[in-house]
Amino acid sequence: MENSMKMKPKISIGDKLQHLLSINGFDTSTIIRGTNINESTFQGYLNNGKSPTLEDIVKLASFFNTSIEYMIGTSDFLLDTWDYDFIEEFLQFSSRKIREHFEHRQNIKVPDGDEVDTILFGILTYIALSRSGRSFEDLSDDEISIKRESFVEIISILHSCVTMSNQDCFDIKELKSLNRNITDYLFGDFSFVNERILNGLEDKLGKSDVNKILLLKDYINQNIRRSERALKIINDLFENEWELGR
C-alpha cells in the first residue's frame, strides 16, 4: 500500500551552529550549559545527524541572540529586524564584542566613548587594515598608537559633521567643500605625498642613486609648474587690484 503521507523535510542546523560557535568563541560545553540541551543531542545537531526539535531551535536562537529563520536556513542574516529597540540592543551587543576582541585578545585599549564610538572604531580598523592587507599583529607599537589616534580624530570629525547637518542654517555645500578639501589634501596640489617622496629619498637604503635623481627631477618639475601657477595667480590679482585702483 502506497504511503500517502509525505515525509517531513529534514532540518539541518549544523553549519549554522558551527558558524555561531566560531564567531562567538564558544565551545560546545558552554552551549550545553546555557541551553540545557543534552550533549549527545547537541552533537547530533552539530554534525547534521539529527533534526532539531522546535523547542531546541528556539533555545539556540535565543542563546545566540539570532532568529529562528536564521537557524533553520530561511534567512541568511543573523539579525533581520530593524527598529529602535533592535538598534539599542545591537549597539550594546556589538560594542561589547568589539571591546572584548581588542582589549582581551589583542591587548589594544579601545578609546573612551559610547557604544557608537566603539563600533565606529571597530569599523575604521576593519576598513583601514583590510584594504592594506595587514592586521594589528603586523604593526609596531608606534604604528598601532598612530592608527588609534587617527581613528579617534576621524570619529570626532564624523560627530562634528553630524552636528553640522542638524543645524538650521546647514547648507550641504559646506559639507561638500570639506570633502573637497580632504580630497585636495590627498591628491591635489597641496598633497602631502610629495613630502613623503623627499622623506623616502633621504633613506639611502632605498632606491638607487639614478632612481633618486629621476624622482627628484620629477619632484622639482612638478613644484616649478605649481610655483609658476601660483605666481601667475598673484600677478593676475595684482593687475586686478591695479585696474580697480585706477
Following DSSP, what letter does each residue of 138-190 receive, concatenated?
GS-HHHHHHHHHHHHHHHHHHHHHHHHHTSTT--HHHHHHHHHHHHHHHHSTT
Is residue 80 within 8 Å of 70, Cβ to Cβ? yes
Distance in Å from the first CA to the final CA of the chain? 113
Task: Kindly report which listed range (54-63, 196-205, 228-237) carries the lowest average pLDDT score.
Answer: 196-205
How much is the pLDDT for 188? 60
> Which grid cell is 150?
587617527
Task: Read off the pLDDT of each residue in 180-194 and give the average, rounded to a whole number.
Answer: 65
Q: What span, in angstroms and rounded, lies between the C-alpha atoms of 99 and 115?
A: 10
Which CATH number is 14-72's, of 3.90.1150.200, 3.40.50.970, 3.40.50.720, 1.10.260.40? 1.10.260.40
Is residue 74 within 8 Å of 80, Cβ to Cβ? no
Task: Read off the pLDDT of each residue in 88-105 and give the average, rounded to a whole number.
Answer: 84
Asked if residue 121 has pLDDT above 80, the reply is: yes
Q: Which segment, 40-54, 95-109, 213-227, is predicted with the most confidence on average?
A: 40-54
* Residue-wise pLDDT tens digits, 1-30: 445 445 555 788 889 898 888 877 788 888
Asked if residue 93 has pLDDT above 80, the reply is: yes
Q: Helix, strand, or coil here: 101? A: helix
* Residue-wise pLDDT tens digits, 134-146: 777 787 888 888 8
Q: Rounded to two decimals, what is the model's pTM?
A: 0.50
Question: What share of the chain has pLDDT > 70, as a percent?
Answer: 72
Task: Read off the pLDDT of each residue in 181-203 and give the average, rounded to a whole number.
Answer: 63
Q: Where are the domains of the chain?
A: 14-72, 84-170, 193-245
Cell 555561531 belongs to 20
Q: What span, in angstroms and rounded, lies between the C-alpha atoms of 114 and 152?
A: 13
Asked if residue 218 has pLDDT above 70, the reply is: no
Average pLDDT along the chain: 79
How much is the pLDDT for 20? 87
Q: What span, in angstroms and rounded, lies between the C-alpha atoms of 126 and 98?
A: 11
How much is the pLDDT for 41? 93
